[in-house]
Amino acid sequence: MQEVRVFAPATVANVAVGFDILGFAIQRPGDEIVARRSTEFTGVRITTITGTGDKVLPLEVERNTAGTAALRLLEHLGLQDSVGIELEVHKRMPFGSGLGSSAASAAGAAVAVNTLLGSPLTREAILYFTVLGEEVADGSFHADNVAPCLVGGITLIRSNESLDIQHLPVPANLHVAVVHPEIEILTRDARAVLSDTVPLKTAIHQLGSLGSFVAALYTNDLPLLGRSLRDYIIEPQRKQLITGFDEVQQAALERGALGCSISGAGPSMFALCDSGYLAQAVGQAMQAAFQQRGVESQLYVSPINQQGVQILSEIS
């Protein structure tokens, strides 16, 4: 293979009840990554980054999420001194959005390079290298964005340290509305507002919600899923960073959403719904609530993306 182009989808991490351990992929937005063989050098080089607007992403491989994931994969295979790979990174989602932008670039690069080399590793096996890539962006080793981006669906991370990932069932009619307000929150800043301690009573409430959320997925019980989407720990601390959070959440619930909370570190907000039609209506209600606070936003409506990173083209 001489060239591979992939699409890496956005993701919703935490899912209200599972901070750093739950996530799911959506259909769009996402990044496109191109990996191409080169005979002019060995190792990895990033030749092009587009879609960054006024942001500047580093071309240096060790400082770039896509570059780091690709290089670590190449090193694992022992090919860093014999194979040359050029990367193009085409950003198709906003930065600091809470939609897993850095995870998408890392996962997309790892899949593209693995495919370029004849797919010597499974997607589960390349997860470690994608986490290393995202760690460059936020300084934290966690897979709640990269895992669902890589393999699709809803994933539960039993352990981030050992990357013990479980795939959870997806109810057939489950759709999501994701609204991205024109506010930027960096993951590092969103983590800085969090307390290191949690009261025992609060932890009990959260554990109950997490357990019933997982049970609802296995039993296809959407009303139970809705009752379970209550974040007692992270949401109360982070919602202050999102202008109009309470009004937007209320608008989603009043319009019929199963639940509504913060996507990842924010500022994007997600609402799970029992149909695509309802998700569209809920998303529009959320946008209207943001608009009333003078905040413009973008809406993405999608079923759960169960494919993950998609190979768009291959050139032999």
Q: Tell me whether the omega of the peptide bond preceding residue 29 falls within 30 degrees of 0, making it cis.
A: yes
Query: Any binding-site annotation on 96?
Result: yes
Nearest residue to 261 via CA among 295, 238, 284, 285: 238
Nearest residue to 220 via CA among 267, 189, 258, 269: 258
What gap in Å lies between CA 113 and CA 109, rounded to an integer?
Answer: 6
- Number of CB atoms found within 10 A of residue 310's CB: 17
Catalytic residue among 32, 88, 187, 235: 187
Q: Dihedral through CA 140, CA 145, CA 291, CA 28, nearest 10? A: 150
What does the block give as tokens for 95? 């930065």
Query: Any binding-site annotation on 104?
Result: yes
| Strand residues in 14-132 grouped as ranges (E) | 22-38, 43-50, 84-90
Query: Any binding-site annotation on 316?
Result: no
Instruction: List all residues 6 or more positions away from 246 whose beta carbon is below 8 Å from its beta carbon.
Output: 239
Query: Any binding-site annotation on 97?
Result: yes
Query: Any binding-site annotation on 98?
Result: yes
Residue 296: active-site member: no
Residue 134: active-site member: yes
Catalytic residue among 11, 65, 88, 134: 134
Query: Any binding-site annotation on 100?
Result: yes
Annotated binding site for ATP: 94-104
Query: Which residues does the annotation mark as catalytic?
Result: 134, 187
Annotated binding site: 94-104
